[in-house]
Amino acid sequence: MCGIVGYVGREDAAPFLIEGLRRLEYRGYDSAGIAVSTENGIVVRKSKGRLSALEEKIRGDHMISGNVGIGHTRWATHGEPSDVNAHPQPSASGRFVVVHNGVIDNYLELKNHLIRRGYEFASETDTEVIAHLIERYYNGDMVDALNKLQTRLKGSYSLGVLSADNPGQIAVIRKDSPLILGERGDEKMLASDIPAMLKFTRDFYELGEGEIAILSREGIAFYDSDKEALSKSTFHVDWDMDAAEKGGYEHFMIKEIMEQPRAISDTITPRLDGDKVLFGDFNLTAEDIAGFDKIYITACGSAYHAGIIGKYVIQSLTRKSVDVELASEFRYGDPIISEKTLVIVVSQSGETADSLAALRYAKAKGARVLGVVNVVGSSIAKEADVTLFTNAGPEIAVATTKAYSCQLIIFYLLAVYMAEKIGSVAETERRRLLEEIKALPGKVAKILENKDDVQRFAALHFNARDVFFIGRGMDYGAGLEGSLKLKEISYIHSEAYAAGELKHGTIALIERDSLVVAIAANRRLFDKLISNVMVVKARGACVCGVTWEGNKVIEESCDFALYVPETEDLFAPSLSVITLQLFSYYVASMRGADIDKPRNLAKSVTIE
């Protein structure tokens, strides 16, 4: 997500910070800032937009001269991109200044707690809460203050903190968000990722979960959460800059596939308080929901595929009628829309021209418009009546993976939220569903641990001419996304079919050794799907079944089986799609395709 850097040494800090941030630009950002400890206290400079805007701002600025500083590139999550929301974030007195990577799940609770005690907030960020809390807890010892801070924070964070009382130091702490440190003589640096420091050193210390470090010219002191001093050894990397930006992975796409447990968890946790779904920003009443005459979901590409799953889940849990429409077609179908219609517009970028046009059309007809968007501050996020953000972080690869997965999560949570409001599912069932949602990041991680199985299967079939994905119900929805992934990055012709529809035409294409991927993760429809598998097998197809662990019966009818952990049927697409993403990735990689930038495709399509 965001990028952090810090420098302590004899040189002017600002150029080091800017150079480090430039090396983190690939992560995506919408604003940047630095803070330097100077003779006149801590000086902060920040700017919305590209790093060049920040550089312009500090050019010839003698106030920002000093040898100790921190810097940040921000990818907005709480509050839109702006100068004031950019990091570093100062405490009330300005004595403490913080840069932060990650998401503080309980920031609202903490913010309200601080407001009740008289604190005023300048920004909309979760990070400002941290700056105020450090000031509140600081009693002359930064390690104590940070240890106290960690008992209050829920969520993920890596922090770099400047304090006016200790101008020669930077304090850092982290949990569930990476942070590395390095030294070169009496110069020290910190960063959220290796590329920022490759010119400085190739030997790094990794800060462990909950650990604290104090960087000064004298050295780096490490502490655990009991304030015990820790000794650490470095790890060495030989990576070039390109490999470093991809975290050592060959492509951004596989890096982003591997990031999914974190992205999903970052999307779930801020929306849950115990067994309650928090959609305070949406704030629907039972009457609102009961009063909806229609719910439409509209989107393009993978976001549309997420919408297909969303339809099943919302309809199933709320018993409200939901239609999914391609955004490029929505307004031409003369949809029946009134002020009692809810239109959900789904978009990773928030800028897709057809999705934006659909949104404007729906608004003009009086509908209530809900955005499900990844990029804060984007057009769809701004123009929707309310937006629920997917906290997937920036996606670099053109073929979406983690943003799609997070869109599914928002639909699951939204369906459970609406169902609770109108009482359409029993309370025990609602709790069970939430437990299943909470377990998804761990289950996705398990599939990723076993990715070699998918790679082996891809190695057998990367030369396929056509691939057919079949499934029923939500498995069909997952198949649509799997098929799109495969064709967009490997250029293999592929189609997804509702398994029952095959016999009405497409089966004419099935011949000896045609590759069929049968998604069979839905227990309710398993037997029916296997009947369809038998039909293609009888025509000589080679079939791979994707099903839940332990369902060995699939091996009787399929030539190959790939397993995903068991889950509730409604959430199974979140797991089967990971296998399909990996399959596409490995096939494309074995074919030597330009995976991150497939031909003819764009990440954000701003033409209709």
Residues in Cβ contact with 361 at an 8 Å cutoff, skipping those fewer than 6 apart: 330, 331
Q: Which of 205, 235, 237 is nearest to 221 (CA)?
A: 205
User: Would you call 2 a catalytic residue per the annotation?
Assistant: yes
CB of 249 to ligand G6P, least distance (A): 19
Q: Among residues 33, 301, 394, 482, which is the contact residue for ligand G6P, using CB under 6 A?
A: 301
Q: Does 302 bind ligand G6P (CB under 6 A)?
A: yes
Total residues at the site for ligand G6P (CB under 6 A)?
A: 16
DSSP 246-278: TTT-S-HHHHHHHTHHHHHHHHHGGGEETTEE-
CB 311 within 8 A of CB 335: no
Contact mark string toward ligand G6P, 389..428, x via CB under 6 A? ---------xxx----------------------------
Does 33 help bind ligand G6P (rule: CB under 6 A)?
Answer: no
Q: Read off the tokens for 210.
A: 């909950």
- Measured from the CB atom, the residue of 400 and 522 that comes closer to ligand G6P is 400
Residue 342-371 contact track with ligand G6P, rule CB under 6 A, x = bound:
-----xxx--x--x----------------
By beta-carbon proximity to ligand G6P, the closer residue of 85 and 347 is 347
Q: How far is the CB of 253 from ligand G6P (least distance, A)?
A: 11
The catalytically annotated residue of 2, 300, 542, 558 is 2
Half-sphere exposure of 43 (CA within 13 A, CB side): 17
Q: Is 458 in the site for ligand G6P (CB under 6 A)?
A: no
Under the criterion CB under 6 A, does residue 127 sit at the interface with ligand G6P? no
Determine if 604 is a binding residue for ligand G6P (CB under 6 A). yes
**Could you tell me if residue 236 is left (phi over 0), alpha (psi between -120 and 50 degrees) or otherwise beta?**
beta
Beta carbon of residue 344, minimum distance to ligand G6P (angstroms, whole number)? 13
Comparison of 189 and 399: residue with beta carbon closer to ligand G6P: 399
Interface of this chain with ligand G6P, residues 543 to 572, rule: CB under 6 A: none
Yes or no: say if 379 and 392 are a contact pair by the CB < 8 Å rule.
no
The minimum distance between CB 299 and ligand G6P, in angstroms, equals 6
Q: Measuring CA to CA, how many Å separate 413 from each of 43, 268, 347, 416?
A: 42, 8, 17, 5
Q: Does 601 bind ligand G6P (CB under 6 A)?
A: yes
Tell the burial category of 599 from Cβ atoms under 10 Å away from its Cβ (0-12, 13-18, 19+).
exposed
Rule CB under 6 A: say whether 133 interacts with ligand G6P.
no
Calpha distance 447→139 (Å, rounded): 46
Nearer to ligand G6P, 163 or 352 (CB): 352
Binds ligand G6P by CB under 6 A, chosen from 300, 418, 529, 582: 300
Contact 386/258 with Cβ under 8 angstroms? no
Catalytic residue among 148, 294, 597, 603: 603
Q: Do 450 and 456 touch, CB atoms closer than 8 A?
A: no
Active site residue 485: no
The set of residues, in sequence order, having a beta carbon less than 8 Å from that of 405 and lying 6+ positions away, is: 260, 263, 264, 392, 444, 574, 577, 578
Catalytic residues: 2, 603
Binding site for ligand G6P (CB under 6 A): 300-303, 347-349, 352, 355, 398-400, 601, 603-605
